[in-house]
Chains A and B, each alone.
Chain A
Amino acid sequence: MASPVKSPGHVAAPGIGGVGESPLRPDGTLKVAGEFAYASDLWMDGMLWGATLRSPHPRALIRSIGIGSALALPGVRAVLTHEDVPGRAMFGIDHTEDQPVLAIDQVRHQGEPVALVAADHPETARRALERIAVEYEVLEPITDPRAVVADPEGLKVQDRGGITRYQPVRVGDVDAVKGRADVVVSGEYEVGIQDQAFLGPESGLAIPAEDGGIDLYVSTQWIHNDLKQIAPCLGLREDQIHMTLAGVGGAFGGREDLSMQIHAGMLALHTGRPVKMSYNRYESFFGHVHRHPAQMRYEYGATADGRLLYADVDIVLDGGAYTSSTKNVVGNAASLGVGPYEIPNIRIDGYGVYTNNPPCGAMRGFGAVQACFAYESMMDRLGAACGLDPVEIRRRNAVTQGSRLATGQVIESPAPLAEMLTRLEAMPMPGAADASDLRNLPGGVSQTTHGEGVVRGVGYGVGIKNICFSEGFDDLATARVRLEVIGGEATALVHTAAAEVGQGLVTIQAQIARTELGVQKVTIAPADNQVGDAGSSSASRQSYMSGGAVKAACEAVRADLLALAERRLGRADLAVVGGKIMSRADGVLGTIEDVLGDAAIERTREYHHRPTTPLDPVTGQGRSHTQLALCVHRAVVDVDVDLGLVKVVELAAVQDVGKIINRTGVEGQIHGGTAQGLGLAVMEEIVVSDGLVRNPSFTDYLIPTILDMPPMRLEILENPDPEAPYGLRGAGEPPTLSSTPAIVAAVRDATGRALTRVPVRPEHIVQGGS
């Protein structure tokens, strides 16, 4: 059966461009021209449309589900409930299967899937959903995460409780030094629920296969982890599911958890027909996990000259009803809870809790974002209390190579934070806004000011993010590389299961193959499960991990190629350079094509990063992260202090990426991560009352536009990490951490307001306390 989708892998990477260059993305032109096939564009003749009935209540018992009326509607082919799940009734992303495929006897969050419909037409499916009669007994939702921490046994959302994970971190003796601090500052901070807001909604196509299995085309972040969850629920072996990545329109963590995968599979198996599911924007807000909202209490003590003595920290993250990745998010928030600063005495209590609020899980920055807003706000408070400017207070306490993090882990690779701050501070400042163009002013063309009330502010932010998975997890990556002559030209075929989610991985994979093999032509095969696990496109890890795997596989192919050349040419002093077989003594002897002839060389390699250890459950000590990355931001804002409207004038950043594999790509990551942090700072929030989402639309969930995101000044440093391929350091997440506190600090600078909650709303500026 022909593949129904044109994926990025079908487009040969064009032109020259090895590691360090910025070749065009193979999918770039298609995306800009609107011709790229996303998962929502999947189509197959004769396919049915799946739809999901979701709970309107955050917490309720299900008394009965009546499907007769829906089934009777002409054009409806199936109506399924939890009783129809062929295999295991529960699934979960992180070895914790506590989420029902379809609700069983109760619902625990608004939007929880209750029943499925397959019909000939999407409208028919929608009409059928209305005919499903669900009798609910509505219960009072549990929505206060602090109350759950206080009474985990009394406020159980599900059998597990309670508290998802409690992770303490203990260094030194906080109580013993509290009296010795010259300066003590404290604060309570709150982070609202941010959404990934990817533009391509959850979509996919499930096709019954001839072997009784399923062909699944889905936009996801991690094919093999999806399979581990899908197969048992569908009652299939993993090898009976043929899974291919469909075009992904953004992910940011929101596609790590399953959405429609099992549902479409159930409908396809039940009907024997291909089934497409595609959420609309409203449904998408209920179709994936969000960033954990956080409530945080911080107290810092320092000497009079601003050297940190102790940190006393309490972080509560609300994960919603199911476990998802909350445990790992708590691990990050706790281990990175005081950021990249040297503090001799630390007490951190990190909690993740279950509630009936919207489910939360992975999102770019993953626990480190929430803590970063708090610890950076604290550094500003401390600086003010010590009479030091924001850069100096940070520099005085900054980690460097050889420093210990809160977990006791020594930073073994370069971490030049003080130098980065000095570079940032030295960057030129933007001039005054040209008020003759309204777009330069707060409010833009909405014309709320011609300059009246506008005050400039400057703020700084620093963030540290772990790269790759942590706490003992071996998140390996696999790559298969095949070298052969096609149409007279040596061509490398790179095959991984790694998800291209918009970050540019397919470009980088081709660059690595060109550099390692000296070929021009590289084809990236569609990502699927015909090759081994690539791990997730998350944790800023794919350049490192799948990049490392492609490099290793290419090296193996190159070694075989040289062995072949040595055999055929009868000499042993050979190297592959620029597509030629070179002899050290005699120069070019021939081309790769000459040596290969009709032969094909194919090698598969697994790549593992240096192992990490779990965090001690009592002390929070451990070498839990394999790589750490720093980014620093300076924000310049103009605030209309009378109306509380903010125009971010400029964002400057310094980030150390170890090695620039693709400058355009890494700049894009820093721009995009910064923009997402800007969104959290001043506009992005899923507003929830009593467990109900009040703004599930792009009308009222606002993400930054081009008029909100300012130009950036970037300095990208290349201090290599000797443990990583090419010395690179993951780059996607760090800028998402530090831009938020930098912007809020700048708004504080302009307004004098305390601003302890993000996103900052106009009324906080106009009416908030100082």
Chain B
Amino acid sequence: MDFLRPLTWEDALAAKAGRPGALPVQGGTDVMVEINFDVHRPEALLDLTRVGALTEWDTTDGRLRVGAGVPYARLITELGDRLPGLAQASRTVGSPQIRNRGTVGGNLGAASPAGDGHPPLLAGDAVIEVESAARGVRMIPAAEFFVGVKKNALAPDELIRAFWTAPASGPQYFSKIGTRNAMVIAVCSFALALHPEERRVGTGLGSAAPTPRRALDAEAFISGELDWDDRGPLAESAAHRFGELVRDAASPIDDVRGTGDYRRHALAVMARRTLTWAWNDHRAATAGREAS
């Protein structure tokens, strides 16, 4: 197995173009485990840890551009205020050691239906910036990025450069079921983001279908149901219906981590609860402004 170590992004793209079978590695929290257990034998590893630009983030025209190599620990500490949903999801990833190494870029590269980073990217309308030496940059909305079980929309010569997303304009929540209270792969997960300026609710489901996905009917229903003008209380019946629609958006399997029935049930509960938290936060924020 060859080990390619480019120093610059351009060299990395050239290396990937020359060796489309090379598997990119950043934190190694997924790739190295699979290699150690002989699950995969890639013809080459493309080590991106020397490409410094990947571990930076900045703001352009009000949108955040977060390098694919920014580890979860930094998403929590540096971007927790602007990307609270993703920070909450990051907090559930593995152990502190894993969060120091693992990255959203790696999560996107593996494209597991259970990837904790995916639901908040979906709920937050993130766009994935990918690039190839031959065709340059391509921007792929998160909802179009996941194309099958552990399959993403990347061409063989493309690398993930960053993801783009707006800083939260309203409350965001991430919720995940695991059968222990830390260090657990999602049995299923749910992310929710309020976009008050668009009078819209975003959603993302994890471990609930062959790919991470949005619950579009649920989004449409609740976006129309919420009292965006006066921020009136959330009707219990609306929250309940929202939960049902999220549940119906899932097509989970029975596996060793949980049954499909349980996953559907849990998604409905998580959807109801996160919506309630988010809407209450939104109302409280208004109350706070009026009081001051």
> Using a CB–CB distance below 8 Å, which chain A residues touch chain B?
126, 280-282, 439, 442-450, 452-453, 642-645, 647, 682-683, 687, 694-695, 699-700, 702, 704-708, 761-763, 766-767
Q: Between A and B, how many residue pairs show CB distances below 8 Å?
A: 98
Contact between A683 and B179 (Cβ–Cβ < 8 Å)? yes
CB distance from B47 to the nearest CB of A (A): 19
Partner of B92, one of A446, A699, A705: A446
Partner of B181, one of A644, A700, A705: A705
Main secondary structure of the interface of B (DSSP, over half): mixed
Q: What would 30 A/B residue contacts be, using CB atoms closer than 8 Å?
A: A442-B181, A443-B175, A443-B178, A445-B88, A445-B91, A446-B177, A447-B88, A447-B174, A448-B175, A448-B266, A449-B273, A452-B273, A642-B269, A643-B177, A645-B177, A645-B181, A682-B180, A683-B179, A683-B180, A700-B257, A702-B184, A705-B182, A707-B180, A707-B181, A708-B182, A762-B177, A762-B179, A766-B262, A766-B265, A767-B265
Contact between A702 and B180 (Cβ–Cβ < 8 Å)? yes
A residues less than 8 Å from B32 (CB atoms): none
A residues less than 8 Å from B258 (CB atoms): 761-763
- Is B173 among interface residues, defined by CB-CB distance under 8 A? yes
Contact between A763 and B259 (Cβ–Cβ < 8 Å)? yes
CB distance from A261 to the nearest CB of B (A): 24
Q: Once the chains are docked, how many angstroms separate the CA of A644 from the CA of B261? A: 13
CB distance from B20 to the nearest CB of A (A): 24
Q: Once the chains are docked, how many angstroms separate the CA of A310 from the CA of B141? A: 68
B residues less than 8 Å from A763 (CB atoms): 258-259, 261-262
A residues less than 8 Å from B174 (CB atoms): 447
Knowing that A642-B269, A682-B180, A694-B256 are A-B contacts, what are 10 other residue pairs whose CB atoms are under 8 Å apart, sorted by A's residue number?
A: A282-B37, A443-B178, A444-B181, A446-B178, A447-B92, A447-B175, A447-B176, A643-B266, A702-B184, A763-B259
Q: Once the chains are docked, how many angstroms separate the CA of A766 from the CA of B277? A: 22
Q: Once the chains are docked, how many angstroms separate the CA of A126 from the CA of B39? A: 12
Chain A residue with Cβ nearest B259? A763
CB distance from B224 to the nearest CB of A (A): 25
Contact between A448 and B180 (Cβ–Cβ < 8 Å)? no
- Is B236 among interface residues, defined by CB-CB distance under 8 A? no
CB distance from A440 to the nearest CB of B (A): 10
B residues 270-289 touching A (CB-CB < 8 Å): 270, 273, 277
B residues 166-202 touching A (CB-CB < 8 Å): 173-185, 187, 189
A residues less than 8 Å from B261 (CB atoms): 763, 767
Q: Once the chains are docked, how many angstroms separate the CA of A449 from the CA of B175? A: 8
B residues less than 8 Å from A642 (CB atoms): 269
B residues less than 8 Å from A695 (CB atoms): 256
> Using a CB–CB distance below 8 Å, which chain B residues touch chain A?
36-38, 88, 91-92, 173-185, 187, 189, 256-259, 261-262, 265-266, 269-270, 273, 277
CB distance from A34 to the nearest CB of B (A): 13
CB distance from A56 to the nearest CB of B (A): 14
Main secondary structure of the interface of A (DSSP, over half): loop
A439-B181 in contact given A447-B176, A448-B175, A452-B273 (Cβ < 8 Å):
yes
Which 9 residue pairs across A and B have the least CB separation, nearest first?
A: A444-B181, A763-B262, A446-B176, A707-B182, A707-B181, A694-B256, A705-B182, A695-B256, A446-B92
Chain B residue with Cβ nearest A760? B179
Q: Once the chains are docked, how many angstroms separate the CA of A698 from the CA of B174? A: 24
Chain B residue with Cβ nearest A440? B181
B residues less than 8 Å from A443 (CB atoms): 175-178, 181
B residues less than 8 Å from A452 (CB atoms): 273
CB distance from A256 to the nearest CB of B (A): 27
A704-B180 in contact given A446-B92, A643-B269 (Cβ < 8 Å):
yes
B residues less than 8 Å from A449 (CB atoms): 273
Contact between A448 and B270 (Cβ–Cβ < 8 Å)? yes
Contact between A280 and B177 (Cβ–Cβ < 8 Å)? no
A residues less than 8 Å from B92 (CB atoms): 445-447
A residues less than 8 Å from B176 (CB atoms): 443, 446-448
Q: Once the chains are docked, how many angstroms separate the CA of A126 from the CA of B183? A: 30
A447-B173 in contact given A126-B38, A280-B36, A763-B262 (Cβ < 8 Å):
yes
Q: Once the chains are docked, how many angstroms separate the CA of A694 from the CA of B175? A: 26
Most chain B Cβ neighbours within 10 Å, of A442, A706, A761: A761
Q: Once the chains are docked, how many angstroms separate the CA of A281 from the CA of B91? A: 26
Q: Once the chains are docked, how many angstroms separate the CA of A645 from the CA of B188? A: 13
B residues less than 8 Å from A645 (CB atoms): 177, 179, 181
CB distance from B17 to the nearest CB of A (A): 29
Contact between B182 and A444 (Cβ–Cβ < 8 Å)? yes
Q: Once the chains are docked, how many angstroms separate the CA of A706 from the CA of B96? A: 13
B residues less than 8 Å from A699 (CB atoms): 185
Chain B residue with Cβ nearest A443? B181
Q: Once the chains are docked, how many angstroms separate the CA of A281 from the CA of B184? A: 17
Q: Once the chains are docked, how many angstroms separate the CA of A682 from the CA of B179? A: 8
Q: Once the chains are docked, how many angstroms separate the CA of A615 from the CA of B70? A: 65
A residues less than 8 Å from B173 (CB atoms): 447
CB distance from A192 to the nearest CB of B (A): 12
